Amino acid sequence: MSKKETAAAAAVVQTPEYVPVDSDFVLKNDESALAIDENFAAQSFWKDALIRFVRKTSALVGLVLIVLITILAAAGPGMNKYSYSEQNLNEKNLAPRVPGLEKTGMFDGHETMKTSSGHTKINSYVDKGLKDVYYWFGSDNFGRDIWTRTWEGARVSLIIAVAAAIIDMIIGMSYGLISGYFGGRVDMIMQRILEIANGIPRLVIVTLLLLILKPGMITIIFALMLTEWISMSRIARAEMLKLKEREFVLASRTLGAGSFFIIFREILPNIIGPIITQVMFSVPTAIFTEAFLSFVGLGIPVPQCSLGSLISDGFNSFTTHSYQIVPPIIVMALLMLSFNLVADGLREALDPTLKEM
């Protein structure tokens, strides 16, 4: 109740001796309106969550973006004649040139080169006599098409990130649930292990692992998994502590349910909301960690690429051919943004207490 209404109520009280008459009370006389009885109980939790999710525009935008990027990551590399690994040293470092748009002077393949004598505008397509050659996002140091590589990289990054996040979820969730459920000494030991695992710098673990194992996507997923499960297990444990003394757990236990039945069949479905949200948040983290590994030179083996390795390649040409770093950065930023938006949307959708602001 806001203050204004309270004030109004006070005003009514001050009005002296009002005697109500019959005309003050009339039937609303709208049978149809009366008949409508919104029955929330009829809707399942998930349907309800879906409705809440769809109502949130930002989350929808995020979802659409993820779908769009996924489609492009799947189909993008096939949309022109170039392959992600084929080099053409004669056509290297060409600025973006797009058919149609080139007439506007924007994407016509020119770039400004800063030489020691000043800025010069050059168009390597014209200089090299390349007439019908179009690199939509430009070409890199080896004459590879950045468009193709960006989507190829997005594909690799998405696979790595989603796989790592799902494996994290399984391991971290189980660990957290078990630790939280049993409590006492089990919890104490499991938490010490966690503390130790967390105390060793990730970089040390990950680089060692990449040095020992054969480099490749599986190794990177494994390395990410090793470091990312911890935060997941924390959340699962916290949720478990909240729920394990609840009546339905007690009921299940008195009915003779075993510990693992209670953990995975009774409690897990009740905490799936925060877990899914955490997965959504850990996807961007995984993309980021992979990017860092690329920077240290331990990323995906060349000529394969990921968004991270593309950014670190582009980084090396930042002051010379700055257009090379732009596409992977934008795709990465959009992915990060959309995963975060979806995660936010999910959190609000799955946790109705947050709903009314």
Partner 1 sequence: MKKYTIKRLITSLFTLLVIVLILFVLMKLMPGSPFNDEKLSEDMRAALYAKYGLDQPVIVQFFRYVGNLLRGDLGVSYNISKNTPISQLVQTRLPISLGIGFAAVVFGALVGLILGLIAALKHDTFIDTICTIISVIGVSVPSYVFALFLSYEFGFQLGWFPILFNARKAFTSSVLPSISLSMFTMASIARFTRSEMMEVMGSDYMLLAESKGLSGRALIFRHALRNALIPIITVLAPLIVDLMTGSLVVEKIFAIPGVGSLLVNAIQSNDYNVVIAMSFIYSAMYILIMLAVDILYGVIDPRIRLAKKGD
Partner 2 sequence: MKKKKAVVAAALCVVMAGSVLAGCGGGSASTAESGAAAGESGAASSVEASTDDLNVMVETPVESLDPQQATDGTSFEVIADYTDGLMQMDAEGKPINAIAKDYKVSDDGLTYTFTLRDDAKWSNGEPVTAKDFVFGWQRAVDPAVASEYNYMLSDIGQVKNAADIIGGKKDKSELGVKAVDDTTLEVQLNVPVSYFLSLMYFPTFYPVNEEFFNSCKDTFATSPDTVLSNGAFILDDYQPAATAFHLKKNPDYYNADSVKLAGLNYQVIQDSQTALMNYQSGSLDTTLVNGEQVDQVKDDPAFQTIGAGYLWYVTPNVSKVKELANKNIRMALTMAIDREAITTDVLKDGSIPTYTAVPLQFATGPDGSDFSGDQDKFKDVCAYDADKAAEYWKKGLEELGIDKLSLSMVVDSDDAPKKVATVLKEQWEKALPGFEVTLDVKPKKQRVEQLQDGDFELGLTRWGPDYADPMTYLGMWYTDNPNNYGLWSNADYDKIIDECTKGETAQDPEKRWTTLYDAEKIVMDDAVILPLYTQANAEMISPSVTGIEFHPVALNRVYKNAVKAASK
Tokens of 287: 């993309």
Q: Using CB distances below 5 to 8 A depending on partner kind, what does residue 329 bind out of partner 1, partner 2, none?
A: partner 1
Question: Taking CB under 8 A as the rule, does residue 10 contact partner 1?
Answer: no
Q: Contacting partner 2 (CB under 8 A), which of 85, 174, 231, 270?
A: 85
Q: Using CB distances below 5 to 8 A depending on partner kind, what does residue 332 bind out of partner 2, partner 1, none?
A: partner 1
Binding mask 107-136 for partner 2 (x = CB under 8 A): ------xxxxx-------------------
**Token pair 């130790």 in the structure block, residue:** 196
- Categorise residue 17: left if φ over 0, alpha if ψ from -120 to 50, beta otherwise: left
Site for partner 2 in 21-60 (CB under 8 A): none
Q: Using CB distances below 5 to 8 A depending on partner kind, what does residue 141 bind out of partner 1, partner 2, none?
A: partner 2
Tokens of 344: 């936010």
Site for partner 2 in 164-223 (CB under 8 A): 211, 214-215
Q: Contacting partner 1 (CB under 8 A), which of 252, 257, 288, 301?
A: 288
Q: How far is the CB of 293 from partner 1 (least distance, A)?
A: 11
Look up residue 206 and give its amino acid: V
Q: Which of 212, 191, 86, 186 is nearest to 140 (CA)?
A: 86
Q: How far is the CB of 330 from partner 2 (least distance, A)?
A: 21
Interface stretch with partner 2, choices 50-58, 238-246, 293-301, 348-356 (CB under 8 A): 293-301
Q: Contacting partner 2 (CB under 8 A), which of 87, 231, 252, 340?
A: 87
Q: How far is the CB of 310 from partner 2 (least distance, A)?
A: 14
Q: Which of 287, 273, 303 is nearest to 337 (CA)?
A: 287
Binding mask 199-228 for partner 1 (x = CB under 8 A): xxx-xxx-xx--xx----------------
Cβ–Cβ < 8 Å for 97, 135 = yes
* Beta-bridge partners for 119: 114
Q: How far is the CB of 271 from partner 1 (least distance, A)?
A: 17
| Rounded Cα–Cα distance for residues 158 and 163 (Å) | 8
Q: Using CB distances below 5 to 8 A depending on partner kind, what does residue 126 bind out of partner 1, partner 2, none?
A: none
Tokens of 55: 């109502």
Query: Which residues, at least 6 apart from 136, have a Cβ–Cβ distance to it below 8 Å?
Result: 80, 96, 97, 98, 107, 145, 146, 147
Q: Which of 34, 43, 73 is nearest to 331 (CA)?
A: 73
| Rounded Cα–Cα distance for residues 337 and 345 (Å) | 12
Interface stretch with partner 1, choices 22-30, 67-75, 99-107, 312-320 (CB under 8 A): 312-320
Question: Taking CB under 8 A as the rule, does residue 53 contact partner 1?
Answer: no
Interface stretch with partner 1, choices 47-55, 162-170, 242-250, 329-337 (CB under 8 A): 329-337
Look up residue 213 and give its amino acid: L
Q: Contacting partner 1 (CB under 8 A), which of 51, 64, 79, 333?
A: 333
DSSP string, 273-315: HHHHHHHHHHHHHHHHHHHHHHHHT-SSPTTS--HHHHHHHHH
Q: Using CB distances below 5 to 8 A depending on partner kind, what does residue 317 bind out of partner 2, partner 1, none?
A: partner 2
Site for partner 1 in 68-97 (CB under 8 A): none
C-alpha dist (Å) from residue 315 to 96, 158, 184, 228, 320: 17, 21, 50, 26, 10
Q: Contacting partner 2 (CB under 8 A), which of 56, 92, 202, 253?
A: 92
| Residue ranges in contact with partner 2 by CB under 8 A | 85-87, 89, 92-93, 113-117, 141-142, 211, 214-215, 297-298, 301-303, 316-321
